[in-house]
Amino acid sequence: MKRLSVRFEGRVQQVGFRFFAESASTNFNITGWIKNLDDGDVLLEIQGDEKELFNFTNKLIKGNGYSKVTYHEIREIPMVKNEKKFKMIY
């Protein structure tokens, strides 16, 4: 188990990117959250098995047909205990 922080840059706001992530998360055994940042980027924190995290992150990088990730930065961060689901933060 790991927890990652992933920052996405590019066309990732006002294109359904967070909704795409929330919907896609149901196909993966992960927890965490996603939110828009004031600078136009999107920040994601996800927790789970390393393979699940890798596959979920790659799905988001490929996008929903409207989004375009031009850069992403991944950092490993401390795990969060008792987190139950993946959610969108407003």
Structure tokens at 9: 């840059």
CA–CA separation, 89 vs 35, rounded Å? 5
pLDDT > 90: what percent of the chain? Answer: 99
What residues are annotated to the active site? 18, 36
How do residues 43-66 score in pLDDT, each as one tens digit? 999 999 999 999 999 999 999 999
Torsion angle (degrees, nearest 10) of CA 2, 29, 58, 1: 10
Q: Which are the contacts of 25, defined by CB distance < 8 A and separation ≥ 6?
A: 32, 56, 86
pTM of the complete model: 0.95
Structure tokens at 8: 């996405």
Please, what are the domains in the chain?
Answer: 2-69 (3.30.70.100)
